[in-house]
Amino acid sequence: MHRTQIALCYGTRPQVIKASVLRSRLEARYSVVAVDTGQHYDYELNALLYDQLGVRAPDAVLDVGSAGHAEQTAAVLVRAEKVLQEHRPLAVVVIGDTNSTLGCALAAAKLRIPVVHVEAGLRACDALMPEEINRRVVDAIAHVLCTPSTRATRRIAAERQDAVIVQTGDVAYDALLAQADRLPAPPVPGGARDSRFCYATVHRAELTDRPAVLRGLLEALSALDRPVLLALHPRTRTALEDAGIEQRFGPNLTIVPPVGYLESLALARAAEMIFTDSGGLQREAYWMGTPCVTLRRETEWMETVEAGANIPIDPAGGTPELTRAMAEHRRRWSAGETWPRTAYGVGDAAQRIAAALEPLVR
C-alpha cells in the first residue's frame, strides 16, 4: 500500500478553515491523511465549515469533544497516537495554538515523526494563557516552523537555532482570498443600513472566566452609537448561562449563534468596525480594510496595531474604553488614513508550506 506521507491535524473552527486550503495544496503533491480531533463539534463550528468550503470529510475523527484542559489534551494525545501509528506518516502538520495542536504535536514527536508547526513564532506577554502555553511547547518540539510574518520569524530564529524556519505568510489569508468572490450579503442586525453597524465576537477564557467583566463588556457594546451584531461562541453562551446572566441587553445589541465563515467574512467586510478577542478576525479586519478593536490588552498580531488597523483595549474598561478606541478609529478614518495589507504575505502560504515539506518526504 502507498505510504501516507503527511498527516494534517486540526480540530477547531479556525483550523478547519485553514486546513481547507492547506489540504488541497498538500494533496496536490503528497498523499495526505486528514485528522479532525473533534475539539469543536457543534454544527456551526465544524460541519457548516466543511459544507461552505466544500471540504471532503476527514479520514479520521478523534471525537475528543469538550473537557477540562488536561482531559481534552490527553484525549487528543492518546487518540492521535493511535491514528499516527496506523498511518505512519513521514511528517505531521499542526496549526496554531489550541489543545488539538498541542496533543497532536506531542503524539507525533513522541513517535519520532517530524512536526511541522503552521503559525509558529507568535507570542503574547501572558505566559499562562492556555494558547500561549500550547504555542510555546509546540514551537519547542517542532522540526519545521512555518511563520506568518517577519516578526515571528525573527523571534523564533532567536529561540530555535536547530530548527528549519520558513516564512510562509499566513494561511488564513489564502483562505480569505479563496472565498472573497463568493461572499453572501452580510446578515446585518435589524434596522442597520450600509456599514452603520459593528460586528463583535467574544470567546476567550480571559473574558468568559470573568462573568462580571463579560457582563460589563456586553453592556458597553449595547450602549454604543451603532447597532452591534454579536455572534456568540458556545463557550460564551455557556459562561453567561452558568453565571445567570440574561442574554438580553439594550436593543442595540443583537446576539446570534455563531455565523458561518462566509457570513463572518461578509460581516467583517461590511461593518464600520469590529470588536473581537479572536485572532482570526483581527487579521481578517486588517485584510478587509475594516478598523478593529481587540478586546484584550495585548495581541499576538502586533503588525495590525502598528499599521493603525487595530486598537487593543482593556475589556474591563467598559464604555469609556470602547468609545475612546472607536473615536480614534473614526479620527483616522476621516483623516483618510489607510494601511498597507502586506505584513502576512501575499496569500500563497499553503503553497509555501507544501514546498517546505519536500525534504521530509524524500
Distance, CA of 201 to CA of 221 (rounded, Å):
11
Binding mask 131-160 for ligand UD1 (x = CB under 6 A): x-----------------------------
CB nearer to ligand UD1: pick between 200 and 354: 200
List 6, 13, 283, 299, residue binding ligand UD1 (CB under 6 A) = 13
Helices (H), the chain: 13-27, 47-53, 69-87, 99-110, 130-141, 150-159, 171-179, 205-208, 211-222, 234-242, 261-270, 279-288, 302-306, 318-334, 349-356
Among 7-15, 260-268, 329-337, 342-350, the segment contacting ligand UD1 (CB under 6 A): 7-15
> Residue 18 CB, nearest distance to ligand UD1 (Å)?
11
CB of 4 within 8 A of CB of 34? no
Among 10-18, 84-92, 176-184, 246-254, the segment contacting ligand UD1 (CB under 6 A): 10-18
Site for ligand UD1 in 195-234 (CB under 6 A): 203, 234
Q: Which of 87, 203, 233, 329 is catalytic?
A: 203
2 is catalytic: no
Alpha carbon separation from 99 to 153, 258, 294 (Å, rounded): 23, 21, 23
Contact between 247 and ligand UD1 per CB under 6 A? no
Alpha carbon separation from 163 to 6, 32, 94, 97, 150 (Å, rounded): 19, 23, 16, 18, 16
CB nearer to ligand UD1: pick between 40 and 329: 40
Binding mask 60-99 for ligand UD1 (x = CB under 6 A): ------x------------------------------xxx
Other C-beta atoms lying within 10 Å of the C-beta of residue 312: 20
Catalytic residues: 203
Residues that bind ligand UD1 (CB under 6 A): 12-14, 39-42, 45, 66, 97-99, 130-131, 203, 234-235, 238
